[in-house]
Homo-oligomer: A and B are copies of this chain.
């Protein structure tokens, strides 16, 4: 295993220590339990937004902590859910009294631990709502998931809800907005190569010299199928059409009902993309794929969107939700409207996403 690390056990801690000395103007770091939060938290009268999940997907989530985005991030060990005490401690630190929105990627461990943390925080008098991100059209039910996995739409929700929180949205408005963003966003990814988690010391899976994994998860979970290597244009078309031709998606989601003070099941159905939708097009590197290749993917994606009558109104291209050094890419399309565009364009100042501040 070739990595710039000291010991597999210390990867997350030492990386956090590096973030702490690199960004003292933006971030404060807790090591026990591991937390990354805004240096100026709590922000008076603002709903706080927390996310978290296994490490190894950097810059997600810690790189998105700062003004206009997340108030705190809870990093687990590599590809391992954070524990409820992390989310509880984060809620205590960043809650200003206006409540906390937890943005939770749909993996069983994350969901369970964020629910438990929410219950603990609520029992201590902190208002908390959890909203699930389940945008990956690749598979329904997978190695670590019931329903669809949460991937690229996560950081789009973090940006948009972060801006809305800064603009004064209250907790219920933010939860509704986050649910809407999740419903508007769909993703699909593929891998050219595997990746090696430090604690495992060997690749997550093996791919032949001429094989790719289509519909890969961000922890190397199996995708839809293993196929022969194809051209960038063919791969882009397969990813884009998987998203654009996906039909309405219905599922039951557990959310906290503040009035009843209990978990309730919502039946949610998100409509498919339609001609003349305005979209944000996000081409993401799984980590090891060069930027030049992402632009080749974006080129074809833009052609497909034009042919389908969709208007790309915003774009994002780069390594934002990664799987360590894995080579490959994912595409996320997010249906936009004036409100979402306004919040996407709003100022943000985090280590990994920054403009206008």
Give the B-binding residues of A (Cβ under 8 A). 2-7, 11-12, 14-19, 21-23, 55-56, 58-59, 63, 192-193, 209, 212, 229, 231-233, 235, 287-299, 302, 315, 317, 319, 322, 324-325, 327-329, 349, 351-352, 354-357
Contacts and interface: CB of A to CB of B under 8 A. Distances in A.
Contacts of A355: 349, 354-355, 357
Which of A2, A19, A59 has the largest count of B CB atoms less than 10 A from its CB? A2
B317 A55 contact: no
B290 A2 contact: no
B192 A292 contact: no
A109 to B, nearest CB: 20
A299 B21 contact: yes
Contact of A290 (B18, B233, B322): B322
B229 A2 contact: yes
A328 B15 CA distance: 16
Contacts of A232: 3-6, 14
Contact of A296 (B14, B59, B294): B14
A58 B290 contact: yes
A322 B287 CA distance: 13
A69 to B, nearest CB: 14
Contacts of A289: 4, 325
Contacts of A322: 290-291
Contact of A18 (B235, B287, B298, B328): B298
Contact of A287 (B290, B294, B324): B290
A79 to B, nearest CB: 12
A205 B257 CA distance: 60
Contact of A292 (B6, B15, B352, B356): B15
Contacts of A352: 291
A107 B315 CA distance: 34
A22 B329 contact: no
B295 A19 contact: yes
A35 to B, nearest CB: 15
Contact of A302 (B3, B15, B21, B317): B21
A17 B292 contact: no
A58 B2 contact: no
B324 A63 contact: no
A351 B296 CA distance: 15
Contacts of A354: 354-355
Contacts of A212: 2
Nearest to A208: B2
Contacts of A302: 18, 21-22
7 contacts: A2-B193, A4-B296, A4-B297, A17-B295, A291-B352, A292-B324, A355-B357
Given A322-B290, A325-B327, A355-B355, A296 B63 contact: no
Given A325-B288, A327-B325, A355-B355, A293 B21 contact: no
Contacts of A287: 288, 290
A8 to B, nearest CB: 11
Nearest to A349: B355
B192 A5 contact: no
- What 8 A-B pairs are tightest by C-beta distance, nearest first? A18-B295, A18-B299, A4-B293, A288-B288, A58-B291, A15-B292, A2-B192, A18-B298
